[in-house]
């Protein structure tokens, strides 16, 4: 019998009753004006097996778009351009470490030690 206990793909396995983690890319007006369609396409081109990649309506962060929300750990990224996507995918979605320079500081201020208030 095969031993799958050390398979790296088991890190993100979900049970049949559990929803897959999602990557939401805002497609509302201000994000769209800043290139969110290209950002969404860049995530879709990555063919992420462990995540559903979806365009969505307003995420309420209009001044810092395009906004990306990763549901597996409730990470929120801001000003995400298509060129940022491979780094976010490699480091965070595959590597488990959020990309600090793209984190939305309004949301992650206390968690990541950004800002004082």
Confidence of residue 40 (pLDDT cuts 50, 70, 90): very high
How far is Cα 44 from Cα 112, in angstroms, rounded to an integer? 27
Average pLDDT along the chain? 86
Distances (CA, A) of 62 to 70, 79, 112: 17, 10, 21
Per-residue pLDDT at 15 = 59
- 80-84, 85-89, 109-113: segment of lowest average pLDDT: 109-113
Per-residue pLDDT at 117 = 42
- 9-18, 23-32, 42-51, 85-94: segment of lowest average pLDDT: 9-18
The two counts, helices (H) then strands (E), for the chain are: 4, 4
Per-residue pLDDT at 104 = 96
The yes-or-no verdict on residue 83 having pLDDT over 50 is: yes
Per-residue pLDDT at 11 = 46
Superfamily of domain 19-108: Glutaredoxin (3.40.30.10)
Domain ranges of the chain: 19-108
Q: Residues 44, 53: contact at Cβ < 8 Å?
A: yes
91-114, pLDDT tens digit by residue? 999 999 999 999 999 998 755 444
- Give the three-class secondary structure for 48: coil
- Strand 22-26 vs strand 52-56: parallel, antiparallel, or unpaired? parallel
């Amino acid at each position: 019998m095969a031993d799958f206990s050390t398979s790296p793909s088991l890190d993100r396995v979900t049970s049949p009753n559990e929803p897959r983690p999602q990557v939401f890319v805002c497609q509302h007006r201000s994000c769209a004006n800043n290139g969110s369609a290209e950002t969404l396409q860049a995530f879709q081109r990555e063919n992420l097996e462990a995540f559903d990649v979806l365009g969505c309506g307003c995420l309420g962060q209009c001044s810092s778009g395009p906004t990306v929300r990763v549901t597996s750990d409730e990470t929120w990224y801001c000003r995400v351009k298509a060129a940022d996507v491979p780094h976010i995918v490699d480091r965070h979605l595959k590597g488990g470490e959020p990309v600090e320079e793209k984190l939305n500081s309004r949301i992650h201020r206390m968690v990541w030690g950004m800002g004082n208030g």
